[in-house]
Amino acid sequence: MTWPNASEILPDDAESATLAGRAWVPDVSGPSVVVLRGADVVDVSAVFSTMRALTEHADPAVAATAAAAAHGTALGAIDELVANTPPETRDAQRPWLLSPIDLHVVKAAGVTFPLSMLERVIEERARGDQDAAAAIRAEIHATIGGSLDTLRPGSDEAKALKAMLIERGWWSQYLEVGIGPDAEVFTKAPVLATVGACVDVGVHPASQWNNPEPEVVLVVASDGRIVGASLGNDVNLRDVEGRSALLLGKAKDNNASASVGPFIRLFDDGYDLDALRASVVRLSISGEDGYRLDGVSELARISRDPADLVAQVVGAHHQYPDGFVLYLGTMFAPVDDRDVPGRGFTHHDGDIVSIAEPRLGTLVNRVRSTADAEPWTFGIDALYRSLTARGLLR
């Protein structure tokens, strides 16, 4: 395959955006925090040894720009690092891009869009059986109709709908978190386990029914401030989660099953939470068999505001001293048949997944078995040994 170049993954307005990320630097055998400055990728690890340190700053965008100008070291042109990122063509003696986050806890919100909520209900009722899904989908739509599109979770209208669904025997744990007062928020992956752009994402080989979940990802400081955003793919095993919600960990947390990138766009005068709320995320899937699927997810259609979701994650009830990222959920749940009529979509090995938003860029990954994706070997202990050896811990 031909991986994208830098111009194809950067935001449309990259020249005015404050973009921060991480790169592997072979000369020091470790990762560095980087800032995009013009066409150059600038290492700012002398000032910010981790991305966590940068996102904890009172004004990360201003701090990143100042660090790049006064203390940064150019690692190379962005074109060079992007081209050197795919593992099969990588020159291990030159820098390449990583996931832009490091010590942040990786959280994800589920069933935040009505369409994806209904698909979770279908998974549950089908018990992971693709063949049963089409008939259940038709029955649910006939029962519920379009009444969920504008429903506010926890409202009196939501309570009334809950009572009606219980009476008809259609209540579900997914509807509970979709229209009830409490959001579903789970831990998607361990710290440092996410992958970035232009590398493989993993699908467990035991799964026969799975899909990408294109999402906006918030970057949140320890005090609850939303300081930036990125794009993410919350790879999901529909058959595994459909068998039992208690298998959520097996369905969600596998090698290379969470991607984030290509960069974090830090909030500044030109991009803030209101701009993020207007995000329109586009998904495309291209298969080696010639298959093509496209979808659109408008963040404005989310049932819970991003700030409300963050407030349910952090506060007096729970603290995250190193901050966290939060996948906001997706309205994209592909139901178009790919192989067998009535069985909907599932990934094939080698699928190319592109998740794009004009002001956040494009996150491109290739689908592989979790056993064939690059293994995760660089954890927290390795990070701190690297930073200590480089004299960056103060």
Does position 140 have pLDDT exceeding 70, yes or no?
no
pLDDT tens, 330-351?
Answer: 877 777 788 877 777 899 999 9
pLDDT mean over 157-162: 75
Does position 133 have pLDDT exceeding 90, yes or no?
no
pLDDT of 156 reads 81
Question: Given the DSSP bridges, would you call strands 210-211 and 236-237 parallel, antiparallel or unpaired?
Answer: antiparallel
Does position 178 have pLDDT exceeding 90, yes or no?
no
pLDDT tens, 312-324?
Answer: 999 999 999 999 9
| Lowest model confidence (mean pLDDT) among 144-158, 181-195, 213-227, 361-375 | 144-158
Give CA–CA dist 133/46, Å, rounded. Answer: 54
Give CA–CA dist 1/349, Å, rounded. Answer: 13
pLDDT of 147 reads 55
What's CA 240's distance to the chain center, in Å?
20
Which amino acid is residue 227, in one-letter code? Answer: V
CB burial string 40-60: b at 16+ within 10 A, e below: bbbbbbbbbbbbbbbbbbeeb
What DSSP assignment string belongs to 11-74?
-TTGGGS-EEEEEEEGGGTEEEEEEEETTEEEE-TTT-SSHHHHHTSSSHHHHHHHHHHHH-EE
pLDDT bin (cut points 50, 70, 90) of residue 120 is low
pLDDT of 189 reads 97
pLDDT of 149 reads 63
Give CA–CA dist 100/90, Å, rounded. Answer: 18
Question: Given the DSSP bridges, would you call strands 199-203 and 210-211 parallel, antiparallel or unpaired?
Answer: unpaired
Residue with tokens 């030109």: 270
Does position 380 have pLDDT exceeding 60, yes or no?
yes
pLDDT mean over 232-258: 93
pLDDT of 368 reads 98
pLDDT of 118 reads 67
Contact 363, 232 (CB under 8 A): yes
Does position 219 have pLDDT exceeding 80, yes or no?
yes
pLDDT tens, 61-84?
Answer: 999 999 999 999 999 999 999 999
pLDDT of 169 reads 76
pLDDT mean over 214-242: 95
Question: Given the DSSP bridges, would you call strands 258-266 and 214-220 parallel, antiparallel or unpaired?
Answer: unpaired
Q: What is the CA radius of gyration of the chain?
A: 21
In the predicted model, what is the mean pLDDT of the chain?
Answer: 91
Selection from 361, 313, 341 nearest residue 106 by Cα: 313
Better-scored residue on pLDDT, 123 or 246: 246
Read off the tokens for 348.
């094939």
The H or E element spanning position 263 is strand 258-266
pLDDT mean over 95-123: 84
Does position 304 have pLDDT exceeding 80, yes or no?
yes
Read off the tokens for 377.
């070997």
Strands (E), 147-251: 184-189, 199-203, 210-211, 214-220, 226-234, 236-237
Contact 265, 357 (CB under 8 A): no
pLDDT bin (cut points 50, 70, 90) of residue 203 is very high
Better-scored residue on pLDDT, 196 or 125: 196
